Amino acid sequence: MLEVRELECVRGDHRLFKGLNFTLQAGELLHLRGTNGAGKTSLLRTLCGLMLPADGDVLWRGESIRSLRDEYNRALTYLGHLNGIKGELSAIENLQISSSLSGINLSEERILRALDDMGLAGREDLPTKVLSQGQKRRVALARLLLSETTFWILDEPFTALDVHAVEYLKRLIADHLTADGMVILTTHQYVKIDAGIIKEVDLSA
Amino acid sequence: MLEVRELECVRGDHRLFKGLNFTLQAGELLHLRGTNGAGKTSLLRTLCGLMLPADGDVLWRGESIRSLRDEYNRALTYLGHLNGIKGELSAIENLQISSSLSGINLSEERILRALDDMGLAGREDLPTKVLSQGQKRRVALARLLLSETTFWILDEPFTALDVHAVEYLKRLIADHLTADGMVILTTHQYVKIDAGIIKEVDLSA
Amino acid sequence: MGFKNSIIWMYFSSPRNFYPLAGKLIPWFAGLAAIFAIVGLYISFFVAPPVLSDQKEYYVIIFIHVAAAWMSMFIYVVMSVYAFIGLVWNIKMSEMMATALAPTGAMFTFLALWTGALWGRPSWGTYWVWDARLTSELILLFLYIGFMSLQSAIDDPRRAARASGLLAIVGVINIPIIYFSVRWWNTLHQGFSVTPTQTKQLVDPAIFWGMIIVALACWMYTIAVVLARVRTEILERERQTSWVQGLVGGQK
Amino acid sequence: MKARHKRLMFIVVGLGGLSVAAALVFNAFQSNMVFFFSPSDVQASQAPANHDFRLGGLVEEGSMKREDDGLTVHFVVTDRAQTIPVIFTGILPDLFGEGQGVVAQGRLNDDGVFIAHEVLAKHDESYMPPEVQDAMERAKQATSASLVSSESK
Amino acid sequence: MSEGSLLFAWRSMLVRDVMLAMRRKADVLTTLFFFLIVVSLFPLGVGPELETLRQIAPGVIWVAALLAAMLSLGRLFSDDYDDGTLEQMLLLPHSLSMMVLSKVFAHWLLSGLPLVVFSPLLGMQLGLNGDAIILLMITLALGTPALSLIGAVGAGLTLGVRGGGVLVSLLVLPLYIPILIFGAGAVESAASGLGADAHLSILGAFFIGALVVTPLSTAAALRISLD
Amino acid sequence: MSEGSLLFAWRSMLVRDVMLAMRRKADVLTTLFFFLIVVSLFPLGVGPELETLRQIAPGVIWVAALLAAMLSLGRLFSDDYDDGTLEQMLLLPHSLSMMVLSKVFAHWLLSGLPLVVFSPLLGMQLGLNGDAIILLMITLALGTPALSLIGAVGAGLTLGVRGGGVLVSLLVLPLYIPILIFGAGAVESAASGLGADAHLSILGAFFIGALVVTPLSTAAALRISLD
Ligand code: HEM
Ligand SMILES: Nc1ncnc2c1ncn2[C@@H]1O[C@H](COP(=O)(O)OP(=O)(O)OP(=O)(O)O)[C@@H](O)[C@H]1O
Ligand SMILES: Nc1ncnc2c1ncn2[C@@H]1O[C@H](COP(=O)(O)OP(=O)(O)OP(=O)(O)O)[C@@H](O)[C@H]1O
Ligand SMILES: [Mg+2]
Ligand SMILES: [Mg+2]
């Protein structure tokens, strides 16, 4: 499905990586490793099409993602270092809007259930800016519960989460893989996921 | 040295904690635990004097920190969720300025050494905004190496750091405790520090 | 032939290959610029009819003014074409050319405004009026300045080049407005003296050729300066590559 | 297929929009988008009353008179169809002269005299030595109505 | 289906931006307030002679509208950029230009429309006559959307650039100036009893041209800024 | 010792802010550019009759200076707030008011001083006479620091409030208006050949009053905003 060909990424004077090749199929998880500054975030953003690679290409079902933007985006969920939620809106509103922006109309119960699953019961109506760091991250992660995409790109999804939330997220990822989804993630924490095929790419090398 | 008396913290409708009491002496580390949203960050900010408690008081050497601001601040280093570094300035400039703001004049070698210790060799002169998440955190942590304060308040210092950096920071904290420093920190990761006396306070309860 | 051309084009679209070529071309264009400048100035001061009944001696300013005004518009068009190529086909060399052109374009724009204002004072009786020609030329200066400030405000060179390139492309609308403003509106500024077809003979041949040759001098000068600037730009943006490091190391 | 249709639609809408815009611009040039008004415009009451405006045209041959103070000038502005008398006190630009283009700023008084407080000279497009110009001028006389109004048409 | 979902997304984006603004009522009021203030400052700075005021009124009101539009540009994309919702917007399965258009429309509703609505008040305050006031409203109604559209390109280009808030004025001003000239010019000719058709045509052309060209350019600018 | 380190910290803060601004040359130039632009827009909007222009010149220049000062307020604390350096500033072992004063001074150096320096140019462009131009410089030199000082309180209060950039104008304008009136008034009386001592005294009083009162208030405002 996803194929990365001879990818090269340059930031300023530094060439972060070069000649990177890998593929990812349905049901597979790619754990991207690397020291701080190795270029994990840059790679993920390139995979999303947010950054232009210096060289090489990213193919989705055999076609370059640059020529295929809408279709690719329909299959993709990206969670970056930033949460992508609006501080002035409540968790419910945030999720409602983010799903209707991708063209899905969700019932309020569905959203409430997702928030409940993420351990945010009782905080659904607060403007998210007053939430704690971990609670904000949970709101962002609730998008995964509500999306219908197959390909998740998660940049350090476990930061700021407490142990329960980490466990829950691991189960969620495992379920997604079992349902033939695809995941690429980075994390510095030790995390073990028991499902699908796990690949690793290390950028520090 | 530090004494917390019947502290209560209220945010909006939620009382986060109440009747909180503990003391901290030289050479002691307090590990603050709690689920997401338990009120750890709020407590730390209250201890710094950035937030006013709803009730109770924080005493430093027997006096309320509110009447003792300058002296207390001279003993304190706080590292919050935000890094407190300027994206436009290089790592060197950031550290130079932050130390001269607290009244210390450092030589450039000293700073370069600290940055080198934090694994930032080769990135000292880049504007910090282009650094990776973990590298930014490292710049912020380098302040600990350069400060002469006794009391460190660290809010999730390990986020975004890779394993090497985590190890290094643990050693740094241990050294600080051995040198009769005091540390309060929160973290959701499992971290073991082999020095000083380790206390725990759990806010989820 | 098209094939061969495109090979050459691709070859020189690589900064590494363009750098030495530019180095070789600079002296030629500089030389041409000097020759044209000498001939042009000779024509303007000695061959062109020395006194026009109403324009007095200061009409000699025409030679600088017209050349500068032409160049200001021409350079902008070239710059935005480069920017477009750079943006769409992601060709670095093209981005660098656009970057290198801007300061010279701004200079000529400024020169056109300045000489125009100086000339306007004795001939029209004012330095400045807000007519369409003058206003749109002023806007051109702002566009150049905007281009350069945007570029210097963004750190990442590639992003800077792309962002300012986009600005250049959007601003190109202004060029036909400048050019045709004298036809479309009643302006205080005079209409076309020199039309591409030259059907109406409005200008004395000596003056006409003087203007053309001074313009050529400006053109050659622009090419020489821009090539020099683009060379430093190449060194700046390619400094991490081995060939530049070899080059710089070798010079030490 | 679908994507191509969508793109085509965007292009059509875009081109349509641009042509409407162009049509509007050309419509604007039909009417008097003016830096100055010609004497004919003024006689047709198109120029503002009780308000400053600019009057443009040629200084009629033989119409220029200076008052004794040496500063106040009377002249007539013409576009070869209509004329307007003008009074101006001040220093005239070099290029000002009979038969030359002029743009004057001011307002009409009740007698239909234009009281100018600023006079600018407008130069024509020709850069010819005087002898040649005279010759050409004579040849051209028949065809060219005026250099000023030629652009506004 | 796909068109339906684009429309749905378009509306959601609009609703979102309006909702965000409404969360802080101040947000809507302040652009308007700024406009009112600038215009009202003039009599204070210039002195209260009605004749002078009437003469400079169209210019002052238009300059104020332009400044108000320019000021509010800063917030057009930067909030979304800072909290990461902008990068999510780039990853939506819809044409980015359409999303941009939706945001710009919201921006105009919140910053341009109030100016149009309140301009008659200011016109009267500065002594404009009836015709001129009507023209003032029409020109603002045509001109402010063009300002928003053009401003969006500048806002997109300067995203994440420090001092962008003011840099953006440098970039958009060259294109704002003609709008100002024709806008104020139309009102002025109306005030002196002349027709303003030509001015209006040009403003209309600006508006439509901007409507066609800028969404694409803004989308490109955003992609560049997030690179 | 403690005084020495306070002075050292004071200077570092100043150096830091100037350095940050210099990192983007655009940053310094743009406030100035905005000022120049606003003033230059007027002839475009109002029409180029020198007589009218001369009459409204003091008002226009002062309004432009006020707007330029107001615009640059947005960035006074908000960058520091967003990246956490402001909370670090609150934890410094020095009087917060002094730190605030240092920041405000830097702000004036970067946004007010250039206006003072370039105002003669604009005065000439709008046809002011020599006396009036000198008065223009003096009033701006007295007035712009007061604007910066007062603006700082507003900027502190609206920190972290969405749309704060415009909200702040709402808060500070009531205090800005008197400065505008006396500033422009002084220039006007000079332009018409009258003395302007009274105006200048009042401006001076404003400046010194602000210098005494606002650092404390700003410090308090910052503490409240970060709570
Ligand atoms: C600040 C004031 C002025 C500005 C901004 C200005 C601008 C320009 C520009 C942009 C052009 C090039 C247009 C083209 O190629 O057709 C031009 C051409 C020209 N200008 Fe000016 N101008 C100014 C003042 C003057 C004055 C005072 C005169 C003489 C009275 C003058 C005489 C000419 C001539 C003869 C041409 C060549 C026309 C042609 O190419 O056919 N300009 N000016
Ligand atoms: N302009 C530049 N000049 C030099 N190096 C740059 C520039 N911009 C970015 N970099 C480098 O590019 C890298 C970006 O890394 P990226 O954010 O992808 O790292 P990461 O692997 O995600 O790290 P982390 O684990 O800390 O999140 C960093 O090492 C940074 O120093
Ligand atoms: N206005 C408010 N109304 C209700 N609850 C609020 C309000 N403001 C803050 N809160 C709550 O206060 C808590 C703040 O928690 P704080 O940031 O101290 O948590 P934390 O323990 O640091 O969490 P984390 O591990 O996620 O960083 C959150 O639970 C938040 O929901
Ligand atoms: Mg990263
Ligand atoms: Mg926390």
- The per-residue DSSP string of B150-204 comes to SEEEEESTTTT--HHHHHHHHHHHHHHHHTT-EEEEE-SS-----SSEEEEEES-
pLDDT of residue D146: 42
User: Do chains A and E have 3 or more beta-carbon pairs under 8 angstroms?
Assistant: yes
Ranges of beta strands (E only) in chain B are 2-11, 14-24, 28-33, 55-60, 63-64, 76-79, 151-155, 182-186, 197-202
The least confident of A116-125, C34-43, D73-82, F212-221 is: D73-82
Distance of CA C43 to the CA centre of its chain: 23
How crowded is the C-beta side of E115, counted as CA atoms within 13 Å?
A: 35
The least confident of B121-135, B154-168, D24-38, F124-138 is: D24-38
How many cross-chain Cβ pairs, E to F, lie less than 8 Å apart?
140
Q: Where are the domains of chain D?
A: 1-33, 36-151
Angstrom distance (rounded) from CA F111 to CA F117: 11
- Residue of A16, A47, A155, A202 to mutate, ligand 2, most atoms within 8 A of C-beta: A16
Q: Over the Cα atoms of chain B, what is R_g?
A: 17
Mean pLDDT of B65-85: 92
Taking the Cβ of residue F25 and every Cβ of chain E, the question of whether any pair is shorter than 8 Å is answered with no
Residue A111 binned pLDDT confidence (cut-offs 50, 70, 90): very high
Please say whether the dihedral angle defined by the alpha carbons of residues E37, E42, E44 and E49, taken in this order, is positive or negative: negative
Helix/strand/coil for B127: strand
Q: Residue A197 in contact with residue B143, Cβ under 8 Å? A: no
Ligand with the closest atom to the CA of C121: 1
Mean pLDDT of C126-145: 86
Mean pLDDT of E4-22: 89
Percent of residues, chain C, with pLDDT higher than 70: 89
> Measuring from atom 17 of ligand 3, which residue has the nearest CA?
A132
Taking the Cβ of residue A14 and every Cβ of chain C, the question of whether any pair is shorter than 8 Å is answered with yes
How many C-beta atoms surround the C-beta of residue E117 within 10 A? 13
Q: Residue D101 in contact with residue D56, Cβ under 8 Å? A: yes
Q: Which of C59, C185, C193 sits opposite D125 (nearest CB)?
A: C193
Mean pLDDT of D26-41: 72
Residues 6+ apart with CB under 8 A from F141: F116
pLDDT of residue D102: 85
Residues 6+ apart with CB under 8 A from C4: none
Q: Which of E13, E88, E93 sits opposite A74 (nearest CB)?
A: E93
Angstrom distance (rounded) from CA B15 to CA B36: 15
Q: Which residues of F touch C130 (CB under 8 A)?
A: 43-44, 48
For residues C245 and B202, the model is more confident at B202
Taking the Cβ of residue F47 and every Cβ of chain D, the question of whether any pair is shorter than 8 Å is answered with yes
Please, what's the largest Cα pairwise distance for chain C?
64
Taking the Cβ of residue D52 and every Cβ of chain F, the question of whether any pair is shorter than 8 Å is answered with yes
> Measuring from atom 28 of ligand 2, which residue has the nearest CA?
A37
Q: Over the Cα atoms of chain E, what is R_g?
A: 18
Q: Please say if the pLDDT value at position D32 is more than 70.
A: no
Contact D27 E198 (CB under 8 A): yes
Q: Which residues of F touch C149 (CB under 8 A)?
A: 26, 29-30
User: Do chains E and C have 3 or more beta-carbon pairs under 8 angstroms?
Assistant: yes
Angstrom distance (rounded) from CA A199 to CA A31: 6
For residues E50 and F10, the model is more confident at F10
Nearest CA-CA distance, residue C150 and chain F, Å: 8
Angstrom distance (rounded) from CA E80 to CA D45: 54
Nearest residue on chain A to E98, judged by CA atoms?
A: A101
pLDDT of residue C103: 95
pLDDT of residue C194: 74
The shares of helix, strand and coil residues in chain E, as percent rounded to the nearest 5, are 90, 0, 10
Angstrom distance (rounded) from CA E172 to CA E167: 9
Contact F29 C130 (CB under 8 A): no
Angstrom distance (rounded) from CA F108 to CA C14: 47
Q: What is the mean pLDDT of chain A?
A: 91
CA of A129 to the centre of ligand 3 (A): 9
Mean pLDDT of A147-153: 93
Q: Please say if the pLDDT value at position A78 is more than 60.
A: yes
pLDDT of residue A181: 93
Taking the Cβ of residue F212 and every Cβ of chain B, the question of whether any pair is shorter than 8 Å is answered with no
Interval B103-155: pLDDT, tens: 888 889 999 999 999 999 888 999 898 899 999 999 999 999 998 899 999 99
pLDDT of residue D125: 66
- Would you state the torsion angle of the CA atoms of residues D126, D131, D134, D136, taken in this order, to the nearest 10 degrees? -60
Helix/strand/coil for D110: coil
Interval B36-50: pLDDT, tens: 999 999 999 999 999
- Would you state the torsion angle of the CA atoms of residues F64, F66, F71, F74, taken in this order, to the nearest 10 degrees? 170
Q: Which residues of F touch C152 (CB under 8 A)?
A: 24-26
> Measuring from atom 17 of ligand 2, which residue has the nearest CA?
B132
Q: Which of E193, E194, E205 sits opposite D25 (nearest CB)?
A: E205
Contact F26 C153 (CB under 8 A): yes
Residues 6+ apart with CB under 8 A from B98: B84, B85, B143, F88
Which phi and psi angles does F195 have, rounded to 5°?
Answer: -75, 155
Kindly state the tokens that stand for C174. Answer: 């202004």
* CA distances to C55, C61, C119, C191, C207 from C50, in Å: 10, 12, 17, 23, 10
Percent of residues, chain E, with pLDDT higher than 70: 94
Euclidean distance between the first and final Cα of chain F, in Å?
31
Interval B83-95: pLDDT, tens: 999 988 999 999 9
Angstrom distance (rounded) from CA F139 to CA B6: 55
| Ligand 3 contact, A84 CB (< 6 A) | no
pLDDT of residue C164: 92
Angstrom distance (rounded) from CA D148 to CA D130: 20
Mean pLDDT of A76-89: 92
> Measuring from atom 37 of ligand 1, which residue has the nearest CA?
C66
Mean pLDDT of F86-91: 93
Residue C44 binned pLDDT confidence (cut-offs 50, 70, 90): confident
- Touching D (3+ Cβ pairs <8 A), the chains are C, E, F
Q: Please say if the pLDDT value at position C99 is more than 90.
A: yes
Task: Tell me the residue range of the domain where E198 lies.
Answer: 3-226
Angstrom distance (rounded) from CA A84 to CA E200: 42
Angstrom distance (rounded) from CA C83 to CA C100: 11
* DSSP conformation letters of A183-200: EEEE-SS-----SSEEEE
Q: Which of E173, E174, E221 sits opposite C166 (nearest CB)?
A: E221
Single-letter code of the amino acid located at A79: L
pLDDT of residue F124: 86
What was the ipTM of the complex prediction? 0.84
Angstrom distance (rounded) from CA F193 to CA F132: 8
Q: Residue F9 in contact with residue F94, Cβ under 8 Å? A: yes
Q: Which residues of E touch A97 (CB under 8 A)?
A: 12, 15-16
Residue D145 binned pLDDT confidence (cut-offs 50, 70, 90): very low
Angstrom distance (rounded) from CA D9 to CA D18: 14
Contact F181 E42 (CB under 8 A): no
**Can you tell me which residue has the tokens 């300066």?**
C225
Percent of residues, chain F, with pLDDT higher than 90: 37
Q: Which of F24, F30, F44 sits opposite C130 (nearest CB)?
A: F44
Nearest residue on chain C to B129, judged by CA atoms?
A: C155
Residue E52 binned pLDDT confidence (cut-offs 50, 70, 90): confident
Q: Which fold has domain D36-151?
A: OB fold (Dihydrolipoamide Acetyltransferase, E2P) (2.40.50)
Q: Please say if the pLDDT value at position D142 is more than 50.
A: no
- Residue of A118, A132, A133 to mutate, ligand 3, most atoms within 8 A of C-beta: A132
| Range among A101-105, D31-35, E102-106 rated most confident | E102-106
Kindly state the tokens that stand for F82. Answer: 């967003």
| Ligand 1 contact, C64 CB (< 6 A) | no
Kindly state the tokens that stand for F97. Answer: 């008011």
Q: Please say if the pLDDT value at position E165 is more than 50.
A: yes
Structural domains of chain F, count: 1
Q: Which residues of C touch F48 (CB under 8 A)?
A: 129-130
State which ligand 1 atom lies nearest to the alpha carbon of C194. Answer: 41
pTM of the full predicted structure? Answer: 0.86
- Residue of B7, B10, B40 to mutate, ligand 3, most atoms within 8 A of C-beta: B40
Q: Please say if the pLDDT value at position E2 is more than 60.
A: no
| Ligand 3 contact, B15 CB (< 6 A) | no
Residues 6+ apart with CB under 8 A from F13: B101, F89, F99, F102, F103, F106
Taking the Cβ of residue B26 and every Cβ of chain A, the question of whether any pair is shorter than 8 Å is answered with no
Angstrom distance (rounded) from CA B147 to CA B137: 16
Mean pLDDT of F111-120: 91
Angstrom distance (rounded) from CA F167 to CA E27: 7
> Measuring from atom 12 of ligand 2, which residue has the nearest CA?
A11
Q: Residue B40 in contact with residue B34, Cβ under 8 Å? A: yes
Q: Residue B26 in contact with residue B181, Cβ under 8 Å? A: yes
Taking the Cβ of residue B130 and every Cβ of chain C, the question of whether any pair is shorter than 8 Å is answered with yes
Taking the Cβ of residue E2 and every Cβ of chain D, the question of whether any pair is shorter than 8 Å is answered with yes
| Range among C185-194, E35-44, F133-142, F176-185 rated most confident | F133-142
- Residue of B16, B158, B201, B202 to mutate, ligand 3, most atoms within 8 A of C-beta: B16
Contact B83 F84 (CB under 8 A): yes
Percent of residues, chain A, with pLDDT higher than 90: 74
CA of D46 to the centre of ligand 1 (A): 29
Percent of residues, chain B, with pLDDT higher than 90: 74
> Measuring from atom 25 of ligand 3, which residue has the nearest CA?
B36
